[in-house]
Structure 1
Amino acid sequence: MSDPERGPVTRPALSRCIRVSAEEFADRHWGREPLLSTADELARGFDDLFSASAVDELLTLRGVRTPFIRMAHEGSVLAASAYTGSGGFGAEIADQVSTDKVLGEFAGGATIVLQGLHRLWPPIIDFTRALIDDLGHPAQVNAYVTPPSSQGFEPHYDTHDVFVLQISGEKHWRIHAPVHVDPLRTQPWDRHRAAVARAATREPAIDAVLRPGDALYLPRGWIHSATALGATSVHLTVGMSAYTRADVVDALLRDVGDHPALRASLPLGIDVHDRDALAPIVDETVRALVEALQRSDASGPAAVLGRRFDGETRAEPLAPLATLDAIEALDAATRVRWRRSLPVRITTADGRVRIVARTKTLSLPVEAEAAIRRLATGDVVTPGELPGLDVESAVVVVRRLLREGIVVASG
């Protein structure tokens, strides 16, 4: 996790959540074991991301509706009708938050779950995008608001890694080792409900109270439960959908259709229930599959996982009105920068430089290559500062990149 030219990679969003270096976290903790980091050990808290007042604002002023909210009581998810209703005249949508109902359920001990905050709350939108850049895996954020002395969910494990960021109040967490290591999405905890329940009665690996500014990392599969203590507890759960070697296998298997032996039909009249009849076919198929896989390289999985990553993450949002204003006013002194979290490839061929983005490919004269690569560093620059082009040509290039959503205006 280092760049030979720039030294260690700090991964600033990730570093907010861990008390160790990014390199130690990657080597020792990621996908392996939990990490508890207290507010005293972290550089800063999480007050800038979320707060109890933000919960009330979302519930009262933002028109939140399902599935961006759900509620749970003693391990059971409540029906949406228990906390939603119509928005009234001019907003006749039946599943918007009803603050009266939410108050009643919350006062009765139910936990409020605000889902998808990486799409709703501006500070979390920016933080999540930066964290995804640091992790290389998709992430999403929920808030859990638990009334005093209440437990929202029974002991369970998740099929994705999580960071727990304590915002306000205190919550007592008990963490137990997995009964099913590294579960995939298709292997949820309720398939092992009895084993999880037994494991939760043993000595925990971590038994700690999280206070404001504390953070807890849990790899997928680690069993956990939490109880709010003497006041309402608000914490963020950052879920990280780690790509696995099973995903690489799935991507590799997409190419097996290129092998003739693997496209062949099974024998006429075969009884697929008959193990003995299938045995030689399975042996032949395994040999053919091994032969096909040995001819594979990383290009297929890179394309498959790249498309999946692009579909599961989002680049920095664009401001359509402000962008059109910036295009109209663009001159040599306009400050612009590359759009954050926008994965692209920059290539040159046949006298053209190409920017290959998620949904489009831009082709420009090769003379613009130095200017494009300068922009792609992410620094704030002006058209007049771009190398390899006269000012008039640089303005033309930047105007095109603004219109295509590759760069954005920067104040």
Structure 2
Amino acid sequence: MFTNYFSLEQLLQPFSQQIFLKEYWEEKPLFIARRLPNYYSALFSLKDIESVVCFTSANDFYGEDIILANCKSDQPYQSTNFNETNLNQLYIFYSQGNTIILNALQRRWKPIAELCTTLQSFFSCKVQANMYLTPKNAQGLKPHFDTHDVFILQVEGCKHWHIYGSPISLPLPNIQMQKEWQEDEIGQPLHKIYLHAGDFLYIPRGYIHKALTSESSSLHLTIGIHPFSWSNLIAQVLESVTQKDVRFRKSLPIGFAYNKNELFLEKQLAEMLQLFVKKAYASDGIEKLAETLFQQYPPISHGHFTQLDSISEITLDTVLRKRQDIVCKIVNHFDRVSILFPGNQVHGPKYIESTLRFIANSQESFSVKSIPSNLNDDSKLLLVRSLVEEGLLTIVFKAEDKSKPVLKQEIDNR
């Protein structure tokens, strides 16, 4: 985990992480009052909003960058982006009672990117951070539920939260029931919570909720946890089995939709399910989901340009280490092996697997020549130079090297 950044344990303090995961995760809301108004100041603050809007562009984003929400307005929901909106316009929108929502803040603010990467590593799923700035006596969104779990970090000011029941337990992202609910549809709230700066609130997916301000404005971060479900794993395993066994690729019987003999299909389906169980391996699905997960990680900069300038100077005596607190995973394919890490992956032939596993499991610095491997010295150099270039390894110490630079080659050319 990131030693200098927020972890799940720090978000939950002084509450027990173990109790949270055992009794609250996916089950019921959790409110933690701290009376520490500066608890999240290292993550984000009101004064940081101008920097985000002024010094980043919309090119980093997919979809809506900025949302203006005001459930009391004739236009309760408007969307725009950073290229079309300036600060003066946002000031006006805010003064008119609009909640300003900045989406995917992990792509724009390094401390939040580090938090999301830490949580992605812990939960093994996509994590996204959105910012909500609400003026006094305002409500941005109508009552609704999310199809992902959320951590509410109250950064500045205060906000009232009303949490209602769940019309469906653990809804999937594509569920048709997702909507804004009317007050007379949802009854009385199960919880009424007043968040102050430094407080924490967890709302499991499916719980209807609304949030509003009164005498104080509010700035909070919503950290969305988008977990993979068992259905996701089963789907990936089925895809893997289908690629390997032609019987799963055969078409259904002609005219099956209008055939009244459904018992015949039931029997065939039972046989296919038995066959699936015999051929299904969780590892196949886990590898597919891991590839998806690592593609979603926001790459975090750590002075990588200085590393690129030194790649040609790497020798057998050069000391390297994994980039600080980085997580990675080895994935096997039919004819190659990959090492996955935030925002990137490196592929190679099967015979470098043991070398990649040593690097993936390393906790300390190591010299190139000390790597236990069946590779010769030239191949070790080619591999570690590639891993430095792609952002997995970083140079700790460079020994003097008077040899001329080596051009990048394919790792196979041993």
Same fold (TM over 0.5): yes
Q: Does 1:22 align with 2:17?
A: yes
Once the two structures are TM-superposed, the CA of residue 237 in structure 1 deviates from its matched residue by 0.4
1:312 aligned partner, one-letter code:
Q
Once the two structures are TM-superposed, the CA of residue 46 in structure 1 deviates from its matched residue by 1.0
Q: Does 1:210 align with 2:198?
A: no
Once the two structures are TM-superposed, the CA of residue 61 in structure 1 deviates from its matched residue by 3.8
Rounded Cα–Cα distance in structure 2 between residues aligned with 1:35 and 1:135: 18
Q: Which runs of 5+ in 2 are unaligned?
A: 398-414
Q: 1:280 aligns with which of 263, 273, 280?
A: 263
- Count of matched residue positions in the alignment of Structure 1 and Structure 2: 372
The C-alpha deviation readout for 1:80-102, integer Å capped at 9, x for no partner, is 3xxx68xxxxxxxxx33222221
Rounded Cα–Cα distance in structure 2 between residues aligned with 1:404 and 1:334: 17
Once the two structures are TM-superposed, the CA of residue 107 in structure 1 deviates from its matched residue by 0.4
Once the two structures are TM-superposed, the CA of residue 316 in structure 1 deviates from its matched residue by 3.9
The C-alpha deviation readout for 1:239-259, integer Å capped at 9, x for no partner, is 111111221232243235736
**Counterpart position of 2:225:** 240
Rounded Cα–Cα distance in structure 2 between residues aligned with 1:215 and 1:317: 28
Rounded Cα–Cα distance in structure 2 between residues aligned with 1:247 and 1:366: 30
**Counterpart position of 1:303:** 287
SS in 2 for 1:145: strand
Q: Does 1:145 align with 2:133?
A: yes
**Counterpart position of 1:77:** 77
The C-alpha deviation readout for 1:26-67, integer Å capped at 9, x for no partner, is 21111111111122599x821100000001222234345773
- Indicate conservation of the 8 Å contact 1:383/1:395, yes or no: no
**Counterpart position of 2:253:** 266
Q: Where in structure 2 are the equivalents of 1:319-334 lying within 5 Å?
A: 319-327=303-311, 332=317
Once the two structures are TM-superposed, the CA of residue 388 in structure 1 deviates from its matched residue by 5.5
- Indicate conservation of the 8 Å contact 1:129/1:341, yes or no: no
The C-alpha deviation readout for 1:366-400, integer Å capped at 9, x for no partner, is 7994x973674344x263895669xx988776444
TM-score, normalising length from structure 1?
0.78
Which stretch of the first structure deviates more once superposed, 219-228 or 314-323?
314-323
2:121 aligned partner, one-letter code:
D
The C-alpha deviation readout for 1:250-283, integer Å capped at 9, x for no partner, is 224323573637724423xx373x4x62523431
Rounded Cα–Cα distance in structure 1 between residues aligned with 2:366 and 2:234: 45
Once the two structures are TM-superposed, the CA of residue 158 in structure 1 deviates from its matched residue by 0.2
- Indicate conservation of the 8 Å contact 1:63/1:97, yes or no: no
Rounded Cα–Cα distance in structure 2 between residues aligned with 1:366 and 1:186: 41
- Indicate conservation of the 8 Å contact 1:165/1:215, yes or no: yes
Change (3 A) 1:69 1:346: closer
Q: Does 1:383 align with 2:380?
A: no
1:39 aligned partner, one-letter code:
R
2:235 aligned partner, one-letter code:
D
**Counterpart position of 1:360:** 346
1:177 aligned partner, one-letter code:
G
Q: 2:154 aligns with which of 153, 166, 169?
A: 166
Which stretch of the first structure deviates more once superposed, 214-223 or 290-299?
290-299
Change (3 A) 1:173 1:282: same
Change (3 A) 1:216 1:129: same
Q: Which runs of 5+ in 1 are unaligned?
A: 1-10, 86-94, 348-352
CA RMSD in angstroms comes to 3.6
SS in 2 for 1:103: helix
Change (3 A) 1:324 1:173: same
Q: Does 1:47 align with 2:30?
A: no
**Counterpart position of 2:101:** 113
**Counterpart position of 1:201:** 187
**Counterpart position of 1:407:** 393
1:96 aligned partner, one-letter code:
E
2:172 aligned partner, one-letter code:
L
Once the two structures are TM-superposed, the CA of residue 363 in structure 1 deviates from its matched residue by 5.8
Change (3 A) 1:136 1:310: same
**Counterpart position of 1:13:** 7
Change (3 A) 1:18 1:367: closer
1:68 aligned partner, one-letter code:
D
Change (3 A) 1:105 1:56: same
SS in 2 for 1:182: coil
- Indicate conservation of the 8 Å contact 1:137/1:240, yes or no: yes
- Indicate conservation of the 8 Å contact 1:114/1:143, yes or no: yes
SS in 1 for 2:11: coil
